[in-house]
């Protein structure tokens, strides 16, 4: 009954050229309000949330993934195990120290997300080109890590969307697939419980151990 009434109201709006253009702005503000209400802990409390980081960077004129030259020192990836997390970044990145994240799947390959490749397995050594680099190990059993890696690999070819919310499993960014892979194994790598997740969040997690770090 309610569904029918909603459809009737919606129909009236859609057929009226006067009100039609107000539908999406109206829905936008309703949804924005719901998101803000549901995440008030981020609005009032947390200065480390992704949205605050973006806003701060924007005010400094930093809006992209940063830029710079790779540091000359060579990094060994020999100690990495499947399930480890690799972070890379450039100075002036808008969303924190790191702009990119991948989950190591073995054989010098990493599963990561790019807009023009979707979720895909790529060679690990391209992380050498980042001036900021961090290798993280999730404190979990081998079985849990293998399941996390299997989950991530099962989503190859799926869509990358840079501002993908943490909810849902149809679009991803490089951090969300890693967070979700471990979240489903009972390990939450985002202590802020943010709406989005950025590579930076993994480093702040008490569930990980830093294996290696270079940069600022």
Partner 1 sequence: MYFPGLDIILSILYLILLIEEGKHTARRLDNPGKQGLIAIIWQMPGLLFVVSIITELDHLTELAYYFIFMLELWHTPIIPLVSLLPAGTFLDKPLYYYALFLMVPLLAILFYLPALKLKQNN
Binding test (CB under 8 A) with partner 1, winner from 168, 184, 209, 213: 168
- For residues 178 and 98, is the Cβ–Cβ distance under 8 A? no
Closer residue to partner 1, CB minimum distance, 20 or 142: 20
* Least Å from the CB of residue 67 to partner 1: 8
170 is an interface residue for partner 1 by CB under 8 A: yes
> Site for partner 1 (CB under 8 A): which residue of 48, 62, 146, 171?
171
Query: Pairing relation of β-strands 208-214 and 132-138?
Result: antiparallel
Among 7, 23, 30, 32, binds partner 1 (CB under 8 A): 23
Q: Which is nearer to partner 1, 171 or 212 (CB)?
A: 171
Residue 29 touching partner 1 (CB under 8 A): no
91 binds partner 1 (CB under 8 A): no
* Residues with Cβ within 8 Å of residue 114, at least 6 apart in sequence: 120, 122, 160, 174
The distance of closest approach from Cβ of residue 81 to partner 1 in the complex, given in angstroms and rounded to an integer, is: 26
Look at residue 75 and give its three-state secondary structure: coil
Q: Is the separation of the CB atoms in 95 and 74 below 8 Å?
A: no
Nearer to partner 1, 28 or 213 (CB): 28
Which region, judged by CB under 8 A, interacts with partner 1, from 31-39, 87-95, 124-132, 203-211?
31-39
Q: Is the dihedral of CA 172, 159, 131, 104 positive or negative?
A: positive
CB of 118 to partner 1, least distance (A): 4
- DSSP letter (8 states) at residue 158: P
How far apart CA 71 and CA 104 sit, in angstroms, is 22
Taking CB under 8 A as the criterion, the residue among 14, 30, 55, 204 binding partner 1 is: 14
Q: What are phi and psi of 134, to 5 degrees?
A: -145, 135
Distant-in-sequence contacts of 170-176, Cβ < 8 A, 24+ apart:
172/113, 172/119, 173/113, 173/197, 174/100, 174/101, 174/102, 174/112, 174/113, 174/114, 174/199, 175/101, 175/199, 175/201, 175/202, 176/113
Piece of the chain touching partner 1 by CB under 8 A; list 34-42, 86-94, 186-194, 201-209:
34-42
Site string for partner 1, 49-68 (x = CB under 8 A): ---------------xx---
CA–CA distance, 151 with 85 (Å, rounded to integer): 15
Q: Which residues bind partner 1 (CB under 8 A)?
A: 10, 14-15, 17, 20-21, 23-24, 27, 34-35, 38, 64-65, 115-118, 120, 155-163, 167-168, 170-171
């Amino acid at each position: 009954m309610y569904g029918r009434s909603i459809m009737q109201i919606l129909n009236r709006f859609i057929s009226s050229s006067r009100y039609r253009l107000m539908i999406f702005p109206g829905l936008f503000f309703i949804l924005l309000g719901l998101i803000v209400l549901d995440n008030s802990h981020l609005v009032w409390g947390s200065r480390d949330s992704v949205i605050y980081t973006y806003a701060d960077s924007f005010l400094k004129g930093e809006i992209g993934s940063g830029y710079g030259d790779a540091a000359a020192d060579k990094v060994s990836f020999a100690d990495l195990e499947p399930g480890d997390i690799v972070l890379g970044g450039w100075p002036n990145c808008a969303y924190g120290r790191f702009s990119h994240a991948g989950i190591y799947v073995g054989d010098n390959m990493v599963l990561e997300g790019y807009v023009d490749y979707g979720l895909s397995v790529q060679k690990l050594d391209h992380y050498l080109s980042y001036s900021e680099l961090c290798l993280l190990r999730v404190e979990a059993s081998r079985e849990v890590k293998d399941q996390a890696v299997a989950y991530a690999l099962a989503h190859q070819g799926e869509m990358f969307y840079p501002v993908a919310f943490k909810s849902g499993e149809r679009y991803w960014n490089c951090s969300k697939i890693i967070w979700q892979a471990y979240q489903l194994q009972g390990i939450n790598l985002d202590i802020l419980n943010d709406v989005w997740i950025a590579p930076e969040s993994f480093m702040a997690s008490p569930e990980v151990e830093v294996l290696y770090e270079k940069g600022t």
